[in-house]
Amino acid sequence: MLEGVFNIPPRTATDAYLARMGGRRRLDIVFDIDLGELVEGHHVVARGLELADAAAALHYEFVPGIRQHEEDTKGRFFWFWMMFAEDDLGTSYDDYNTGAFDPDGKAATHGTRNLGGPVPRSARRLRLSFTPPEMWTPLGPWCRELDIALPGGQVTESWTGPRQDAG
């Protein structure tokens, strides 16, 4: 169990994905932050950043995992939460919100969300902003922003609604 969050599994789905990649991909900055129920029936848990030279990505998990049959009952793209990146240098990151996730997870489903370009090595702060899908309003508090100090990775969270950590 991760400190400060309720019923969030360990990083098993992300670790399994990275193992399947055989070392070609890795988390350069690791954190485990429950962003709240950004998607109906699923928390989004930010697991860390991959800061590849070609393009950076946020690794995350849906908890519980997304099931293929959910699109039939909740609608197409019910899972499509949005993320926007900015840094202290004013780097232009595209906002296409591309990425991928395992379409049939169990306790958790691993996914990646591209930041929209590489993060310059000289950047000292990276801010990731989140919004839920258009047709969903979270019933409880959710994280609207992560402010990440670079290169160390210390993270500051900004929430919408009062955060109620399990203790």
Q: How far apart are CA 113 and CA 110, in angstroms?
A: 10
**What pLDDT, in 10s, does the model give residues 99-141?**
888 876 788 999 999 999 999 999 999 999 999 998 889 989 9
**What pLDDT, in 10s, does the model give residues 30-62?**
999 999 999 999 999 999 999 988 899 999 999
Return the number of other C-beta atoms located less than 10 Å from residue 19's C-beta: 9
- Residue 72's pLDDT band, with cuts at 50, 70 and 90, is confident
Omega within 30 of 0 (cis) for the link into 138? no
Distances (CA, A) of 108 to 3, 23, 145, 156, 159: 18, 21, 22, 24, 23
Q: CA triplet 46, 50, 52: central angle to 5 degrees? A: 160
